[in-house]
Structure 1
Amino acid sequence: MNSVPDDIARIDGDTPTMRLLALLEVIAARSEVFSLQTLVEETGVPKPTLHRMLQQLESAGMLQREGDGRHYSTGVRLRRLAEQLLLNDTRHGARHAVLRQLVAEVGESCNITALSGSEVLYLDRVETPAPLRFYLHPGSRVPVHCSASGKLFLAQMGTAQRRRLLANVPLESYTPHTLTDFDRLEAELERVKAQGYALDEEEFLPGLRCIAVLVGTSGRSNMGVAIQAPSMRMDGAKALQYLPALQRAAAALAAVESPQPGEARESA
């Protein structure tokens, strides 16, 4: 029997539905748009078979065709599924406890975020007890280019991937501080990548400052944790004073997200 080369992604399954799910796993691991030919080379599945599978996923809203008609990307239905899994995950209670502890430590509103398309999605949030605050609830979405968490997610990408993501998303100006020039944004993202944290210096809402870090240090992450506060209470120096507490919270959240030994045995 012929062996499967190491660089071939296996599309296994006892039924057509299971093979479609296996193909979705391969697609979900990709960070770029892809073509039929790319997947043929990656999976070894015959081109007619793979074309039929992609058509089925496209018609179900799991994938969408790009403007050139040759490339595919994740569809709205698949992205919404991923969002709902994150929002309703059984680990939500543990994540929320970490967030409450962070708010108790720094005294300001804190949130957990994820990248959703070209926006940042709030997975969870705990508000400060202080009377002056900006209210944003779980499920809220903010622009990726002018939020601290969004900068972190963008900084993980290569320049070409960022340009594709932002190609159809104008760098809209929300305040006089919003970065609306791609080259200036690129320079900012290089700083974010080097320093390991990002700031929103009143770039989305006037009077609101934010500092954020990613959850997890190995590989790419699609979860961030952030502190938000009115600029009159948190200037740039104060935001950096909160960085150690923020990093401790990120480490605690990473531990929550890591599979526990008992879970590994149960799934085996």
Structure 2
Amino acid sequence: MKNKITGYDEFIRESTNSSKDSAITRAIEILFALSSSPEPLSAIGVSEKLKIPKASIHRLMVHLESIGILEREPGSKKFITGQRLNNLAIETLINSPNKSIRHSILEALVSDLRETCNITALAGNKVIYIDRVESQWPLRIHLQPGSIVPIYCGASGKLFLSYMPAQQRRRILNSITLVKYTEHTIINIEKIEKELKKIRSQNYGLDIEEFMQGLIGIAVPIFNRNNKICGTVSIHIPTVRHDLSEAIACIPRLRIAAQKISQTFSREDI
């Protein structure tokens, strides 16, 4: 009898095994391995990482690919997380049990700074807003939770890029179309890399009218319990109300809010 999953029914039957070697357990381990890796992984790479036979790993990864949980890296046999898994991660962040606590922290920050503030996370090669509190000024930018913005020309996106391993960062920059949204948008990869080096050293992201004309963005990192960046707290400041020096003066209060929000992630693997 061949030990091979040929369809969803077979996958479910094998998954009912309650042992640590069940298909469900192995599938979850595969997802953890891929989501925590800065690089795409082949079935062999996952097999070596998990110490599980390649045949079993490959069979499961192909099945996960067939239902959109995993995808192949373009032009490669290696795997990356798929859109369905990314969507699940995004919805989990937006609707997590601690969202009300984070929202309260964000509301207090906006009350203090009187400008719109956000919590963002990384979604593949883009940045997603998982929470946002608008200021009371008539002039403001409306972006709801779930809104996605480019990674290379916003304060949060550049902060995420600055923390990535160089190879992962370059792969992302080479895979996306660099659109010039304003006259200030940098679309030369070497110039972006130079900017990212500065951002990493100062530990905050800065967008001076790169994504939207007349808008300054500043972002500080949120770290998880493993001391890895898992999100940002950011602020949008119209240049008609504040200049750059006034915007930068907000950073200490952004960092305090980021530290409080990081504590809400203490029991979550993100």
Give your verdict on TM over 0.5: yes
Match of 2:7 in 1: none
The alignment status of 1:248 with 2:248, answered yes or no, reads no
Which AA in structure 1 matches 2:164? M
The alignment status of 1:172 with 2:162, answered yes or no, reads no
- Give the conservation status (yes or no) of the 8 Å contact 1:200–1:209: yes
Segments of 5+ residues of structure 1 without an aligned counterpart are 1-11, 261-268
Moved more, 214-223 or 204-213: 214-223
The alignment status of 1:227 with 2:235, answered yes or no, reads yes
- Give the conservation status (yes or no) of the 8 Å contact 1:111–1:226: yes
Q: Following TM superposition, by how much is the alpha carbon of 1:13 offset from its aligned partner in structure 2, in angstroms?
A: 2.3
Distance 1:234 1:17 in 2: 53
Distance 2:152 2:160 in 1: 10
Distance 1:156 1:237 in 2: 24
Match of 2:11 in 1: none
Which AA in structure 2 matches 1:256? T
Distance 1:220 1:175 in 2: 31
Match of 2:66 in 1: 59
The alignment status of 1:92 with 2:116, answered yes or no, reads no
User: Cα RMSD (Å) of the superposition?
Assistant: 1.5
Which AA in structure 2 matches 1:109? T
The alignment status of 1:187 with 2:186, answered yes or no, reads no
Distance 2:236 2:53 in 1: 51
Moved more, 216-225 or 154-163: 216-225
Q: Following TM superposition, by how much is the alpha carbon of 1:133 offset from its aligned partner in structure 2, in angstroms?
A: 1.3
Which AA in structure 1 matches 2:77? R
Distance 1:258 1:43 in 2: 25
The alignment status of 1:216 with 2:220, answered yes or no, reads no
Q: Following TM superposition, by how much is the alpha carbon of 1:14 offset from its aligned partner in structure 2, in angstroms?
A: 5.4
Distance 1:79 1:168 in 2: 18
Secondary structure of 1:222's counterpart equals strand
Which AA in structure 2 matches 1:108? E
Distance 1:101 1:172 in 2: 35
Q: 1:48 aligns with which of 38, 42, 55?
A: 55
Match of 1:257 in 2: 265
- How many pairs were matched up? 249
Match of 2:23 in 1: 16
